[in-house]
Amino acid sequence: METWNKLPLAAMDWFAEREAINRNYYRPIYSIHKWWARRPGTTFRALGLATLTDDSVQAEDILRETSSGSFDGLFFEDQQEKFSDKTVLDPFVGGGTTLFELNRLGAQTIGYELNPVAWWTAKKSIDEVDLNKLRDRFERVLDDVRDELDEYYTTKDPDTGKECEILYSLQTQKVKCLSCEDSVQLFPRYELGKKKKTSPAVIYCKNEDCENRIEYLDHEIGETETCSSCGEEFDPSEGTYGYGKFTCSNGHKSDVKESLQRNDQKPEFEYFALYYRTPAGEKKFKEPDADDLNKVKQAENKLEEIREELPIPSQKIPDGDKTRAL
């Protein structure tokens, strides 16, 4: 049977669509390394199964939707033994998806790649790792830097005064409007967190003068929300920024890149929220307070102090295919 006829296309499509939204669902390990336009791993797993199995295997054996709406098939089974005598050659490795997925199926893999960065990334993603050695090195790094860095990653919970671990520091870019010089905080939307079973929805007030911009809602985020601190009414799904363009408070539309170039400005960022975990395990948002901002200052000062000793490359990036693409 032709491999093509063994592809469970509708089910593959279902998985690829979900994987595209959040790659961490399917391949947390190798998505650590970024690469442009990496293809969906689920698609290549199904392709691999269709290619490596014999003619007795049909599309529905590989992946099928069950009557209860879940999925079933070889796709979910451990294949490591079955394909260990197969060798797969990928002459154009790129993001490495073919190699990774076929390797996960148990096949031997050989890849060629012209771009040294892509080659290195793919190779390191698939190389055998001595886990004991890795754990050892990791512990050494922890011992070396933990005490020094820990203080930059803690914040006080305003409700309890307890020290908490910072999970994310959220920043927004500030740009000047080309028409009226209004300084604009770029937000694609004013939503910090959607309502889930265990956590409330959180929005960020669009009024820059508002005293208390983070707001917890007891309902799903609606099309119009009212800030309980300043009374501003706004649609949290409508931000100031989208697709490289931004809109100032006077309604002028400008291009971010053009605005930076014409104002001869470097991109400027501003902390606007911290996402942290309390000792009891609760995850919360807060606006950075004076202590938090002070820590950022301290970190900046420290960086200046030791900049000379750091192995930061100073040479110019040579012109190449993608040098000016970003």
Verify binding: residue 217, Zn ion, rule CB under 5 A: no
Closest CB 210 distance from Zn ion, rounded Å = 3
Task: Using the minimum distance from each CB to Zn ion, give the nearer residue, 166 or 210.
Answer: 210
Task: Using the minimum distance from each CB to Zn ion, give the nearer residue, 226 or 298.
Answer: 226
CA distances from 171 to 92, 101, 268 (A): 37, 35, 10
Total residues contacting Zn ion by CB under 5 A comes to 14
Q: 250, 263, 294, 323: which one contacts Zn ion (CB under 5 A)?
A: 250
Closest CB 250 distance from Zn ion, rounded Å = 4
Task: Using the minimum distance from each CB to Zn ion, give the nearer residue, 61 or 287.
Answer: 287
Bridge-partner residues for 273, per DSSP?
170
Give me the DSSP letters along 136-174.
Answer: HHHHHHHHHHHHHHHGGGEEE-TTT--EEEEEEEEEEEE
Verify binding: residue 260, Zn ion, rule CB under 5 A: no
Closest CB 310 distance from Zn ion, rounded Å = 39
Verify binding: residue 18, Zn ion, rule CB under 5 A: no
x/- letters, 165..204, toward Zn ion (CB under 5 A): ------------x-xx-x----------------------
Q: What residues contact residue 261 under an 8 Å CB cut-off, 6+ apart?
A: none
Residues in the chain: 326
**Maximum separation of any 2 CA atoms in the chain, in Å:** 69
Distance CA 203, CA 217 (A): 8
Q: 16, 57, 230, 260: which one contacts Zn ion (CB under 5 A)?
A: 230
Q: 123, 252, 277, 283: which one contacts Zn ion (CB under 5 A)?
A: 252
Distance CA 191, CA 222 (A): 11
Neighbours of 104 (CB within 10 A): 20
Structure tokens that stand for 9 in this block: 């296309």
Which DSSP letter does residue 3 get? G
Q: 47, 59, 175, 227: which one contacts Zn ion (CB under 5 A)?
A: 227
List residues near Zn ion by CB under 5 A. 177, 179-180, 182, 205, 207, 210, 227, 229-230, 232, 248, 250, 252
